[in-house]
Amino acid sequence: MSTNHTSGAGSATHAKKAEIFCQDEARVDWHSKALWMLREKRDRAASSIPEWEQLRELGSQLKLHTLTHLDQYLEEFEKNCHANGIQVHWAKDGAEHNQIVHKILAEKQVKKLVKSKSMLTEECHLNPYLESHGIEVIDTDLGERIIQLAKQPPSHIVVPAIHMKKEEVGDLFHEKLGTDAGASDPLYLTRAARAHLREQFLSADAAMTGVNMAIADKGAVVVCTNEGNADMGANLPKLQLHSMGIDKIVPNLDSAAVILRTLARNATGQPVTTYSAFYRGPQTDGEMHIIIVDNGRTDMLQDKILAESLKCIRCGGCLNTCPVYRRSGGYSYNYTIPGPIGIAVGAQADDTNSIPWACTLCGSCSYVCPTKVPLDKIIHHHRRLKAKAGKLPYGKRSYMPLVGNFMASETMLNCSMSVARTALRILPGAVLKPFSGAWGKYRELPIAPKSSFETWFNKNRGQ
């Protein structure tokens, strides 16, 4: 097993953690390439849809509309869920979420829970909580199962085991599942996992999934997977639970259609996920519970710029395109969610105050985002918030008072982002490199776009 990856929970700066990852140059190149492949597939899928930009705009607008009417939609959603025989629970934070889940499971004396991928339950640290209460939790998405067996957190939100080589998975499965020693063929390993997980599905007492969308006017939740693990899970035992952040609400099926068209295309380049399942009530004699979670989201909504990060549909596109993420690995971000969106939603919790600087402000993330989350603007805003709070990370203090003031000015915001881009283009690498931290020590700096995509688009294509 690789020992290069430390858990996301530690408190080293992004640069320190990236430095660990950067030591293995071959792995960094391989990691970067694997993710860039996803980015290329995404580009092909996006350009095959003539209305792609229209869908991005619609996605952005409908999410903004929903976020600015969330109280109404959440109440409508709850009312309609009740009418469909679904039980709804509200949790203000991760701890309350976990308690609610445990209470439901304990009442039914659940011993084994099968789970499908959910960044929210990661965010709430549900697994260790349930395990400490004697409930066996089986993550059933293949990538999630791999890292669960390896006792690691996810390093990517869509492909959680992207940092692992097939030989490492082979060794792990040999040890845990009894596959042949030295076997590393992905087909063989996937089949072994299929057989192992079938046993788990068939013997589970309850299932839990995340939620891709919650449809207010139907009282239904949508769950998307390629493997079918969420549906194998939820449709076997009689008890199904779904955890969702308050930001997962969309008004109606028409909105869901817009997002279903961009989600998979932007994530992996597929036209749609293999399974997009709509649950509008429990199975016969079954029980269905939905836990609606805040955990800091209402706080984010009180900041005009941070609020827009809740438009995110967790496609992972911004991670795949990010030159820093690709070369520093998912474990360097001090948060469950890495990459640009991880900075956007996790920077405030980062006690090293370093992750807003794990970004070149190249703007590539904002350009690929299917709901137009203004990631570079948000990340820049986080720098400003850190500067204002006097929480600049170690090593940036010497030059940051000046830069900090510069960034703390709202009117300079867009301007300074274009300065960053210009700097990347015209300054010699030797001048910039000392500022780029561990990453630049081992790599060349990226070629920055001449302008942000918005500027380019407005100039060249906009009306």
Partner 1 sequence: MSSKQSILHALKRVAVEPQAMPEINVSPRLDDVIGQFETNLGAVAGTLHREAGLSGLQAKVDELIAQGQQVISTVEGITGNRTLPETAHELKDIDYAVIPGDLAVAENGAIWVNNKNLGHRVTPFICENLFLVVKADTVVANMHQAVKQIGLESGEFGVFIAGPSKTADIEQALVVGAHGACSLNVYLT
Site for ligand SF4 in 365-394 (CB under 6 A): 368-371, 373, 375
Return the residues of window 229-248 that contact partner 1 according to CB under 8 A.
Answer: 229, 231-232, 235-236, 246
**Which does residue 160 touch among partner 1, ligand SF4, none (CB within 5 to 8 A, set by kind)?**
partner 1
CA dihedral 333, 335, 338, 340 (to 10 degrees): -80
The per-residue b/e assignment along 164-202, b for 16 or more CB within 10 angstroms, e otherwise, is beeebbbbbbbeeeebeeebbeeeebeebbeebbeebbe
CB of 248 to partner 1, least distance (A): 14
55 binds ligand SF4 (CB under 6 A): no
438 and 22 Cβ atoms separated by less than 8 Å: yes
Between residues 76 and 350, which has the closer beta carbon with respect to partner 1?
76
| Binding partner of residue 91 among partner 1, ligand SF4, none, CB cut-off 5 to 8 Å per kind | partner 1
Look at residue 275 and give the partner it binds from ligand SF4, partner 1, none, a contact being a CB closer than 5 to 8 Å depending on partner kind: partner 1
- Closest distance to ligand SF4 from the beta carbon of 134 (Å): 35
Written as one letter, the residue type at 373 is V
Nearer to ligand SF4 among residue 236 and residue 272 (C-beta): 272
Q: Residue 100 Cβ, how far from ligand SF4 at the closest point, in Å?
A: 26
Chain positions 322 to 351 lying near ligand SF4, rule: CB under 6 A, are 341
Q: Taking the complex as a whole, how short is the minimal distance between the CB of residue 92 and partner 1, in angstroms?
A: 4
Nearest distance from C-beta of residue 2 to partner 1, angstroms: 14
What phi, psi does 206 have (nearest 5°)? -155, 160
* Positions in 435-454 near partner 1 (CB under 8 A): none
Work out how close the CB of 250 gets to partner 1 at its nearest, in angstroms, rounded to a whole number: 10
- Cα 362 to Cα 453: distance, rounded to the nearest angstrom: 10
The CA radius of gyration of the chain, in Å to the nearest whole number, is 22
| List of long-range contacts for 156-160, beta carbons under 8 Å, 24+ apart | 156/35, 156/316, 156/319, 156/330, 156/338, 156/339, 157/119, 157/314, 157/316, 157/319, 157/337, 157/338, 157/339, 157/341, 158/267, 158/268, 158/314, 158/315, 158/316, 158/319, 159/38, 159/316, 160/117
Q: What is the Cα–Cα distance from 298 to 153, expressed in whole angstroms?
A: 26
Residue 307 within binding range of partner 1, rule CB under 8 A: yes
* Three-state DSSP class for residue 140: coil
The candidate with the shortest Cα–Cα distance to 290, out of 24, 20, 75, 78, is 78
Spell out where 97-215 has E strands. 112-115, 136-139, 206-209, 213-215
- Looking up tokens 């619609």 gives 58
Segment 68-127, which members bind partner 1 (CB under 8 A)? 68-71, 74-75, 83-85, 90-92, 96
Q: Which of residues 170-229 bind partner 1 (CB under 8 A)?
A: 186-187, 189-191, 193-194, 197-198, 201-202, 218-220, 226-229
Q: How far is the CB of 124 from ligand SF4 (least distance, A)?
A: 19
State which of positions 165-224 bind ligand SF4 (CB under 6 A). none
Binding mask 282-321 for ligand SF4 (x = CB under 6 A): ------------------------------xxxxxxx---
What count of other Cβ atoms lies within 10 Å of the Cβ of residue 426? 10
Q: Which is nearer to partner 1, 267 or 318 (CB)?
A: 267
Number of shown-chain residues binding partner 1 (CB under 8 A): 97
- DSSP string covering 79-113: HHHHHTTEEEEEESSHHHHHHHHHHHHHHTT--EE
Residue with smaller CB distance to ligand SF4, 200 or 364: 364
> Which does residue 368 touch among partner 1, ligand SF4, none (CB within 5 to 8 A, set by kind)?
ligand SF4
Please, which residue, 200 or 332, has the CB nearer to ligand SF4? 332
Q: Which structure tokens are listed for 339?
A: 């990459």
Nearer to ligand SF4, 169 or 305 (CB): 305
Q: Which residues of 65-104 are buried (b: 16+ CB within 10 A; e: fewer)?
A: ebbeebeebbebbbebbeeeebebbebeebebbbebbbeb
Q: b or e along 354-391 (b: 16 or more beta carbons within 10 Å of the residue's beta carbon)?
A: bbbbbbbbbbbbbbbbbbbbbbbbbbbbbbbbbbeeee
Q: Which of 270, 414, 418, 455 binds partner 1 (CB under 8 A)?
A: 270
Listed ranges 15-23, 153-161, 342-350, 360-368: which one lies at the site for partner 1 (CB under 8 A): 153-161
Q: Cβ of residue 420: shortest distance to ligand SF4, in angstroms?
A: 19
Choosing from 76, 294, 350, 376, the residue that interacts with partner 1 (CB under 8 A) is 294
Per partner kind, with CB cut-offs from 5 to 8 A, the member of ligand SF4, partner 1, none near residue 373 is ligand SF4
User: For partner 1, what does the binding mask look like between residues 40 and 59, x meaning CB under 8 A?
Assistant: ---------x-x--xx-xx-
Closest CB to ligand SF4 among 15 and 379?
379
